[in-house]
Amino acid sequence: MVKDGDAAMEEFGAAAPFLRKSDKEPLEAQTRPSDMKKECFVPDAAEEYLKTVTVKEVDVHPQNPPKFDKIEDMAMFTFLHEPAVLFNLKERYAAWMIYTYSGLFCVTVNPYKWLPVYNQEVVLAYRGKRKDEAPPPIFSISDNAYQYMLSGVRCPAVSTNNS
């Protein structure tokens, strides 16, 4: 039986809130009003990127719809650019979710404190799971690479040019 949502996170124990937030948070983001023609990121020397200012059109970077707030895989963004990536990493980090995917890559933001995401319970919870079956952590990447190695199948994240 495959568990969905919050129930699937129970096997991660104390690490669960640091890996993925409850199902309620993304639902709240999806219902938040948004106007993609008015919401965007613009560079700011002190704050990196701000949401409301008057600038030249060349400095405007569209903001993603709220349903992408704190998304686990940034490759899913409608608008994939530096401010969107930095904003997502900042929002996830503020919620103590330090791992985020960007396509095949796992991005980690150093929490500068010990989080309960590096114990045997978490390692076992990731064992044998595909990337899309669990929240992003370093264990998912390493276990997938290990499983590919055992099966003799070339890992899709690794390519070579034999021409």
3-state SS assignment for residue 112: coil
With tokens 């890559």, the residue in question is 105
Q: DSSP letters of 3-25?
A: --HHHHGGGGGGGHHHH---THH
Mean pLDDT of 2-9: 67
**Cα dist. 40→33, 93, 125 in Å?**
14, 21, 38
Provide the pLDDT for residue 85: 92
Residue 76, pLDDT > 90, answer yes
pLDDT at position 75 is: 92
Tell me the per-residue pLDDT of 82-103, one tens digit each, with 9 for 90 and over. Answer: 999 999 999 988 888 888 888 8
Residue pLDDT, tens place only, 124-163: 888 878 777 888 877 777 777 777 788 876 655 554 555 4
Query: Looking at residue 163, what is its pLDDT?
Result: 45
In this predicted model, what pLDDT tens digit does every residue of 64-74 receive, in sequence order? 988 888 999 99
pLDDT tops 50 at residue 2: no
Distance of CA 116 to the CA centre of its chain: 18
Evaluate whether 83 touches 117 at the Cβ level (below 8 Å). no
Query: What is the b/e burial string over 83-105, where b = at least 16 CB atoms within 10 angstroms of the residue's CB?
Result: bbeebbbeebeeeebbbbbbeee
Whether 1 has a pLDDT exceeding 70, the answer reads: no
